């Protein structure tokens, strides 16, 4: 069973959180509420999120300050942030949002279909990265145990390599389809860059896996970094 991605919704008004939940429920992911910047930072200490929808105008710690704290933490700095605001203060205000680390800046009232489509892109990228980490973990197990297999178990590594190759091929196919979708829809530059980074990591993992096949390499390859 595929684990659902978590989406963090941050807004001090309960009715706004309810509206966001209604819009994003069709994505069938786990929606987590936070009614303040402090509450959002607390949730980010323990859970991993695919994307954060962050209201700008909040009492106390506003969206800009909350985003600054998120970007300073190593654990959370790469989580995409979509700012939501009910007031349009012009280009300077929008620039401040991007400078704070947002991947998008949307004024209320927003088109529910557009918001759902934007969030779904980052959820897909998150899921692909999770799949990639699983493939890398299996590959590490193979590399670490490859020299310890007894002669009678010679077929076991080959079977594992075949399974790894098949699972990686499925992820590669999905990543390629996602990249084409982003190109077709003229998506945000941040989403395109994240997809390109994912493809580079997949390429590195494929090379490492190919090197394990009999006759294709002289030694154990290094596992690609997950940074």
Q: pLDDT for 21-75, tens place per residue?
A: 999 999 999 999 999 999 999 999 999 999 999 998 899 899 989 999 999 999 8
Closest by CA position to 9, among listed 99, 37, 194, 27: 37
Helix, coil or strand: residue 217: coil
What does the angle CA 63 – CA 81 – CA 116 come to, to the nearest 5 degrees?
Answer: 115
Residue 222 has what pLDDT? 45
Q: pLDDT for 158-194, tens place per residue?
A: 666 676 677 777 677 777 777 776 665 555 666 666 6
Q: pLDDT for 115-162, tens place per residue?
A: 999 899 899 888 888 888 777 777 777 776 654 444 444 445 566 667
Beta strand ranges found along 13-80 (DSSP E): 30-34, 51-55
Contacts of residues 138-146 at CB distance under 8 Å and 24 or more positions apart, as own/partner, are 138/163, 138/164, 138/167, 139/164, 139/205, 139/208, 139/209, 139/212, 139/223, 140/223, 142/212, 143/212, 143/220, 143/221, 143/223, 146/212, 146/220
DSSP states of 150-192: -GGGTHHHHHHHHHHHHHHHHHHHHHHHHHHHHHHTT--HHHH
Residue 87 has what pLDDT? 65
Residue 138 has what pLDDT? 76
Residue 219 has what pLDDT? 43
Helix or strand (DSSP H, E) at 107 = strand 104-107
Measure the N-to-C terminal CA separation of the chain; round to a whole number of Å: 26
Identify the CATH number of the domain defined by range 6-110. Answer: 3.40.50.2300
Question: Of 218 and 85, which is predicted with more confidence?
Answer: 85
Domain boundaries, the chain: 6-110, 120-212
Query: Does residue 109 have a cis peptide bond before it, meaning omega lies within 30 degrees of 0?
Result: yes
**78 pLDDT exceeds 70?**
yes
CA 1 to chain centre: 18
């Amino acid at each position: 069973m595929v684990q659902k991605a978590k989406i963090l919704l941050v807004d001090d008004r309960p009715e706004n959180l309810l509206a966001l939940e209604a819009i994003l429920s069709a994505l069938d992911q786990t929606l987590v509420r936070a009614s303040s910047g402090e509450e959002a930072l607390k949730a980010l200490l323990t859970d991993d999120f695919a994307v954060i929808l962050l209201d700008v105008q909040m009492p106390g710690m506003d969206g800009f300050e909350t985003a600054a704290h998120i970007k300073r933490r190593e654990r959370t700095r790469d989580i995409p942030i979509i700012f939501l605001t009910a007031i349009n203060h012009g280009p300077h205000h929008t620039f401040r949002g991007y400078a704070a680390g947002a991947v998008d800046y949307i004024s209320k009232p927003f088109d529910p279909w557009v918001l759902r489509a934007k969030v779904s892109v980052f959820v897909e990228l998150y899921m692909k990265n999770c799949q990639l980490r699983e493939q890398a973990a299996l590959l590490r197990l193979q590399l670490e145990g490859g020299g310890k297999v007894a002669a009678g178990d010679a077929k076991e590594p080959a079977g594992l390599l075949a399974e790894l190759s098949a699972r990686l091929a499925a992820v590669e196919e999905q990543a390629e389809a996602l990249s084409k979708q982003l190109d077709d829809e003229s998506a945000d530059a941040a989403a395109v860059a994240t997809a390109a980074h994912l493809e580079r990591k997949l390429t590195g993992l494929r090379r490492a896996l190919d090197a394990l096949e009999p006759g294709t390499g002289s030694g154990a390859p290094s596992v690609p970094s997950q940074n």
